[in-house]
Amino acid sequence: MEVPKGWKLIDGSQTGELLLTWNEQGERATISVNIFVPPNVIPDDRLADTFATIIKGMYGNQADFEMRSPVPEDAGTVVIEWASTLEIGNSKVKFQASSKLQRLNDKFVIFTFGAIAPKFPELKDYFFRIANGKVINADIAIP
């Protein structure tokens, strides 16, 4: 995956979950990839609702969290746009993000990108190019 140069990698992986996050130096934008095997087999018709529950669990504790309805895509992926308020220094700023769920064999791959509100619209196309260019090995081992 092509991550912008100079972005800081944070490896938050733990047993059963690979979690890699890259933050822009000024912490105005972030990209993360989360890979795990869900505890149960999720049928396709429940994928969108399950993803909404996952996103609420991951980010729902952030201030002013709001989430749009899941959007299933033709490729079998599901996209959810969400927003929250973050504190950067002494300022509160609106953070906008988009998370995409892809099923890869028995694994879920969640690709999330986000940025503070003024930056999100200008970075959105760039983030989509990164997301569309990513290649995840379906046989990747999860610690």
Q: Quote the pTM value.
A: 0.88
pLDDT digits (tens, 9 = 90+) for 85-126: 988 788 899 999 999 999 988 899 999 999 988 778 878 777
Q: Where are the domains of the chain?
A: 8-133
Burial (CB count within 10 angstroms: exposed 0-12, middle 13-18, buried 19+), residue 14: exposed
Q: How distant, in Å, are the alpha carbons of 92, 96, 97, 104, 134 from that of 75?
A: 37, 24, 20, 12, 15
Contact (CB, 8 A) for 113 and 131: yes
Q: What percent of the chain has pLDDT over 90?
A: 59
CA-CA distance, 1 to 27, in Å (whole number)?
20
What architecture (CATH level 2) is domain 8-133?
Answer: 3-Layer(aba) Sandwich (3.40)
pLDDT digits (tens, 9 = 90+) for 9-21: 999 999 999 999 9
Per-residue confidence at 142, pLDDT binned at 50, 70, 90?
confident
pLDDT at 135: 63
